[in-house]
Amino acid sequence: DAPLMNVPGRTHAVEIFYTPEPEKDYLEAAIRTVIQIHMCEEGEGDVLLFLTGQEEIEESCKRIKREVDNLGPDVGDLKCIPLYSTLPPNLQQRIFEAAPATKANGAVGRKVVVSTNIAETSLTIDGVVFVIDPGFAKQKVYNPRIRVESLLVSPISKASAQQRAGRAGRTRPGKCFRLYTEKAYKTEMQENTYPEILRSNLGMVVLQLKKLGIHDLVHFDFMDPPAPETLMRALELLNYLNALDDDGEMTDLGSIMAEFPLDPQLSKMLTASCDYNCSNEILSIAAMLSVPQCFVRPNEQKKAADDAKMRFAHIDGDHLTLLNVYHAFKQNHDDPNWCYENFINFRSLKSADDVRQQLSRIMDRFNLKRVSTDFTSREYYINIRKALISGYFMQV
């Protein structure tokens, strides 16, 4: 009996163009299209180019700038601005800067925002008239057989393509250049993006359903039912972690793990850390794994950023490297300037601090002791590795 609400919105007309043939290299085609728009379109208007990830975006910005510089002084100025989720907030704000002014000879200045699909729905950039859509995005995919999540470059859906095109018509009529054929759009693209529940590790979902007393998972009324194999693999995982017994019933440990807003492997690692006298360290590692990438690698300072990262690197792997970063951050009193000097994302570290406090409160609620092995002891790193393995032994 929910009421049906209709919220009218106004969008301007968007003219859509397709390529006559499939593009062999969508990155090359995208850069070429940016240059053609800048040189051939007479009216003002900024450009929004969708790419799949940070490396592609930084590389294309560098190449676009180089190409425009080679065109000579008679061509209008072009400001190229990257946008992706791990970019520091002050650099993300650059997308709202004004485009370069028109030159005395009438050459139009433009702004080009090169973005991941974060710009599909999250924000509106005033001044965008031209959208370039290569038709790809990174999507999270989970392989239940090897229990590994990965980000894969995949074709987008028709719904995403329409959303991208709509970015050009927010404030005035625009144009969308799709770097794929009309036939591919009509016959090869899916109508909608696969729901995330069909592409994710269901360990946490199954644990929460068990906590709610739902036992018949195969016949549970999911909006988008996942594959039975994915559900069975999740049950198997929880049994191996001792969150469920052999009859599929939740154990005492499982009921504690279900309280943590973490993947089951992480929550098992956290509960086991008390037995190895390293729960303070595992709290920090779990918090760091729960926030976006903390290392910043600006395109023009890659070597300096890599050198800074090596100062935190630990021979035993990424988990202990993240622990070193968090300890150094706290030793420097959460100083944003220290983060800037060491190419660390301050926002990620502050988020990790908040997550750590939240996890600490949950541990306190269940009287899970927060302890550390003496740093000078040879057992210090051994105990941390034992706790890590207790959650991730199936990845060995």
What is the per-residue pLDDT for 326? Answer: 97
Residue ranges covered by each domain of the chain: 14-194, 259-395
What is the per-residue pLDDT for 4? Answer: 86
pLDDT in tens, the chain (396 residues): 788 888 776 678 899 999 999 999 999 999 999 999 999 887 889 999 999 998 899 999 999 999 998 988 888 999 999 999 878 788 889 999 999 998 888 888 999 999 998 888 777 788 899 999 999 999 988 888 888 888 899 999 999 999 999 888 777 889 999 999 999 999 999 999 889 888 888 999 999 999 999 988 888 899 899 988 889 999 999 999 999 999 989 999 999 999 999 999 999 999 999 999 999 999 999 999 999 889 988 878 889 999 999 999 999 999 999 999 999 999 999 999 999 999 999 999 999 999 999 999 999 999 999 999 999 999 999 999 999 999 999 888
301 alpha carbon, distance to own chain's centre = 22
Give the contacts of 40 (CB within 8 A, at least 6 positions apart). Answer: none
Give ∠ CA 204-205-210 in degrees, rounded to 5: 95
What is the per-residue pLDDT for 43? Answer: 84
Is 322:394 a contact under the CB 8 Å cutoff?
A: no
Is 103:135 a contact under the CB 8 Å cutoff?
A: no
Q: Which CATH superfamily is domain 14-194 in?
A: P-loop containing nucleotide triphosphate hydrolases (3.40.50.300)
What is the per-residue pLDDT for 303? Answer: 94
Cβ–Cβ contacts within 10 Å for residue 102, how many? 14
pTM, two decimal places = 0.82
What does the DSSP assignment read for 122-176? S---TTEEEEEE-SEEEEEEEETTTTEEEEEEEEPPHHHHHHHHHGGGSSS-EEE
Of 156, 145, 268, which Cα lies nearest the Cα of 204? 268
What is the per-residue pLDDT for 391? Answer: 94
In the block, tokens 């676009």 appear at 64
Cross-strand pairs, 378: none
Cβ–Cβ contacts within 10 Å for residue 75, how many? 18
